[in-house]
Structure 1
């Protein structure tokens, strides 16, 4: 019998896909070092599943493992074709729509998931493990899972945006806020790559991960782990709630330009202006989501969101 918890074995396939999407979204060049500790913080998991996910990617040739040195990108992201979606991810997209439409009850069984999405037992565990990590589901003491319907209610996205509109500008206004120059330079390079055509080339889910990464990296300047983890948690829930808005690529061009404006102000040391620009940025995207019907009109006065 294996001494490793079963959940450890089930986390790597989707985590590997998320890391691959992160390589794509940041246009990481050949030879870029993929640090296990940094990825563990980014995806809010321990180092063990990150290492297993990196080993899975190494088998595909996307990255290479150098003994005693770590993992490195093997090919420029632009030169690497996007892998096809796996069955678990396809099921996740379908389930996301059902959850947002409130057509899934508070409890669901393994057999219901397998029958509805034509998944194997292992794929079902992968799917529900992902929802557990995002805080949407929890394993029942008996058979099946409980669904946190509060996080998928019609006003859930408005609630996440309301929290971010309070949290992110406040982080920029902290007297101790500091974002290193090398981080600003890396984020700026990603935004320019997006504007240079990456927005039209990569899948919508990759664009979402890019946006989440930008805001989380800006948050690291606050040097407050509780604020960062709050944002990471919210972004994981938003990923499920906002899939129907991800196909609107035009808005990503505007958002990339706004990201660059925020970086310019941070680099200039004008954190108050950066905070104000962040508020403006969040409110503009809130209007986009409202136009798509994802945020009720009555929540417009208090809600905000981002790419």
Structure 2
């Protein structure tokens, strides 16, 4: 499954500390690490915070980070103890970060991509194929690629959630609503599996599974406009979701709510399910907006 760029950076910074045998107290700055790993500062900042949480780094009074005692001990670990970064995953999330940060223009050539992210043509082809499949970039008829619109601000992100509350609850109450029991059963199994391995899953795992469930419910509505609107909105918000800090406790709570929602639908309690999904989406929007503002 996809790995966020900050996940890769956590491993890279650990490798860097160990390989360079950095002593306790060595300062690590966002600027230097951003230049070293050729990524924007946002994922570096998240990686540093996570390493501080692991005790590898310690936060300084001025807000910076330095190698902690546990970090200095990494020099004694075998070099292969950390998985090597995947250049395709690394380039994918670096492009996503730069696009959301406004560091990439709307139109970009393959030569510009290859130079900026230092990847091979084969790796670039894999990245572009994935981005095109996810709907946030498209090949131009003549030359190069064009980014499609995505949600890039807190305001549009919140508006998207409010729109979802309107159409997803309404979809459950449509006169054409028909339960697809096999599809919902598959979604229920997937949600249970996510709960069982919540400490190992990525933000992309959660996004894909949750999107599948909500779109499956929308398809049960029998209303093609509700289905199309939700799919378009999910495509627009994908990158914003990847960029947000990943709260595993909140993700587990949402999985449990999804299981309750599926049970209501399978029991034929459509009014209760519509009320439930309104509250579910409203609470999720509040949580994610709070994390973004923090």
TM tier, smaller: 0.5 to 0.7
Match of 1:118 in 2: 118
Residues in 1 aligned to 2:103 and 2:293: alpha-carbon distance in whole angstroms: 16
**Contact (CA 8 Å) 1:87, 1:119: kept in 2 or not?**
yes
Partner of residue 161, structure 1? 161
Distance 1:143 1:294, change over 3 A: farther
Count residues with an aligned counterpart: 213
- Deviation, structure 1 residue 158: 3.0
Q: Which residue of 2 aligns with 1:228?
A: 227
Mapped partners of 1:141, 1:268: distance in 2 = 50
3-state SS in 2 of match to 1:265: helix
Spell out structure 1 runs of 4+ moving beyond 4 A: 83-86
Residues 107 and 147 in structure 1, CA contact (< 8 A), matched pair in contact too = yes
Which ranges of structure 2 fall in alignment gaps of 5 or more residues? 3-82
Judging changes above 3 Å, is the alpha-carbon distance between structure 1 residues 106 and 241 closer, same or farther for their aligned structure 2 residues?
Answer: same
In the TM superposition, 1:1-307 aligns within 5 A as 86-148=86-148, 150-154=149-153, 155-195=155-195, 197-245=196-244, 247-293=246-292
Contact 2:150 2:239 in 1 (8 A): no
List per-residue Cα deviations over 1:133-176 (Å, max 9, x = no partner): 4443333344322323x424324433432332222111101122
Q: Deviations over 1:237-261 (max 9, x none)?
A: 3222211236221111110121122
Q: Map Cα deviations across residues 212-255 of structure 1 (whole Å, 9 max, x no partner).
A: 11112222211334432432332233222211236221111110
Alpha-carbon separation, structure 1, partners of 2:225 and 2:88? 31
- Please give the TM-score of this superposition, normalised by the length of structure 1: 0.61
1:205–1:246 CA contact under 8 A, matched in 2: no
Aligned CA RMSD, in angstroms, stands at 2.7
| Structure-2 change in CA distance of 1:136 and 1:277 (3 Å) | same
TM-score by length of 2: 0.63
CA displacement, residues 162-196 of structure 1 (integer Å, 9 cap, x when unaligned): 3322221111011221213343433333333333x
Question: Secondary structure of the residue that 2:146 maps to in structure 1?
Answer: strand
Partners of 2:181 and 2:260 lie apart in 1 by 15
* 8 Å contact kept, 1:107–1:144: yes
Following the alignment from structure 1 to structure 2, what is the Cα–Cα distance between the partners of residues 113 and 160? 30
Distance change (3 Å), C-alpha of 1:168 and 1:127: same
Work out the CA distance in 2 between the residues paired with 1:133 and 1:270. Answer: 35
Matched residue SS, 2:280: helix
**5+ unaligned residues in a row in structure 1: which ranges?**
1-16, 19-82, 296-307
Other structure's SS at 2:199 match: helix
**Residue 86 of structure 1: how far off its partner (Å):** 4.4
Which of these two proteins has the greater Rg computed from alpha carbons?
2
**CA–CA distance in structure 2, aligned partners of residues 180 and 141 of structure 1:** 39
- With over 3 angstroms needed to count, the CA separation of the structure-2 counterparts of 1:106 and 1:184, relative to structure 1, is closer
Q: Give the structure 1 partner of residue 33 of structure 2.
A: none
**Structure 1 CA distance for aligned equivalents of residues 255 and 235 of structure 2:** 20
